[in-house]
Amino acid sequence: MFKQTFGALAAGAILGLAASAASAQTVKIGYIDPLSGPFANVGEAGLKQFQFVIDDINARNLTGGPKLEIVPLDNKGTPQESLNQLKVAIDRGMRFVTQGNGSGAALAISDAVAKHNERNPGQSVLYLNYAAVDPDLTNSKCNFWHFRFDVNADMKMEALTTYLAKDQGIKKVYLIHQNYAFGQQNSRIAKELLARKRPDIQIVGDDLHPIGQVKDFSPYVAKMKAANADIVITGNWGNDMSLLIKAAKDANYNGAFYTYYAGGLGTPTAMGEAAAGKVKQITEWHANIAPNKTEKFANEFEKKYKLDFYYLRVNTMMYMLADAIKKEKSAEPLKVAFALEGMKFASDTGEVEMRASDHQIINPMYISTIVKAANKGDKPQAGGDKSVKYDQEDTGLGFKTDARIEAYVVSQPTSCQMKRPPKS
């Protein structure tokens, strides 16, 4: 009797220690994005947002035990260095990686992760993509180990072109994109959708420029003016977005810009007052949506880092990851992946779904225009739109919602033929 009781107590103690060890586990997530080079400012800003939401998750124990930790890994903005940093992450025992800036890097990481996991089934790695939007990632090149938490380029362009097609004043459109996978895809889909929705519209320019290398966009803007373009559609981001808008401002180009990333770091400052009423963006969130459940979080982030909050999708991604770990009582990537498939989550703008068929997030989107805000920084300014409470980067300019595009409208079919590993 004594031996049985002692054995039971010992077994219980071992289980208790195991549970304690699991609870104390730290889940390290490799952040593979540019932290040097022309897009370092974008990478550094993203890193701060990850750190802030992870601090919130850890403080509230949303995983049910394990702590999360973000580990910065500088990919210098290139696919090859992304692969080098992925190897560093794997060699250091990281089972989760995230990346977002650049679809070329994303395609390289997704493919490498899938091959690594096939060769090392007991040491699988999960890739959480928060911003790389090349449609191929969740279509022809989809794989089980990749999850995208940003609406893909085709979906965004579907929403943008549906909106602009209603404006009969638009007759001539100029396209300009960075010359890599995402930019090439965006140019293609813009032409296809405009031809279907507004066959009367002329494409009067279609430029692809080297990514992160153009220092002066004035020659491109001169072509826009010469073509009498009513609007410009661009998927540019980072300095390539800021410098493009600055060149347009300096050249007094009066056409409107339809963008994905006008609210990105540095761009509102570069645009200045000349952008008011002329620059639009499509995003999953901006600071003046109503109701704004993220307002308190965004204000606390800005207070700590002196930086505008931008990526609601980073929050969505990390809270969903925490939910998956808590549900499975495990941070094993295979279990987490199956938990994420088909997960529905109450985000701050409504329900989102991680579509199981292709691992593509489906969520509502907002089209907004930058206008003069009610405040400049923390001080009121005369003549501002009273519905635009927050400005961007203390410029006195803030985004005002033109339209909310519901998730079911944003959703597009997928060609993904997902191959799944056994669950155990």
In the chain, what are the domains?
2-151+308-362 (3.40.50.2300), 154-283+379-405 (3.40.50.2300)
pLDDT digits (tens, 9 = 90+) for 91-111: 999 999 999 998 999 999 999
At residue 273, the pLDDT reads 85
Rounded to two decimals, the pTM is: 0.88
Specify the amino acid at residue 243. L
At residue 264, the pLDDT reads 85
pLDDT digits (tens, 9 = 90+) for 54-81: 999 999 999 999 999 999 999 999 999 9
At residue 38, the pLDDT reads 87
Question: Following DSSP, what letter does each residue of 101-114 receive, concatenated?
Answer: S-HHHHHHHHHHHH
Asked whether 148 and 138 are in contact (CB, 8 A), the reply is yes
Interior angle at CA 308, CA 27 and CA 325, nearest 5: 20
At residue 17, the pLDDT reads 41
Sign of CA dihedral 371, 374, 379, 383: positive
Asked whether 62 and 55 are in contact (CB, 8 A), the reply is no
Asked whether 116 and 91 are in contact (CB, 8 A), the reply is no
Q: Are strands 26-33 and 96-99 parallel, antiparallel or unpaired?
A: parallel
Within 8 A by CB and 6+ apart from 142, the residues are 358, 359, 414, 416, 417, 418
Asked whether 341 and 324 are in contact (CB, 8 A), the reply is no
At residue 24, the pLDDT reads 55
* Segments of the chain with pLDDT less than 50: 1-23
Q: For residue 33, what are the β-bridge partners?
A: 74
Other Cβ atoms less than 10 A from the Cβ of 303: the count is 9
Please state, in angstroms and rounded to a whole number, the distance separating the CA atoms of residues 120 and 117.
Answer: 5
At residue 22, the pLDDT reads 44
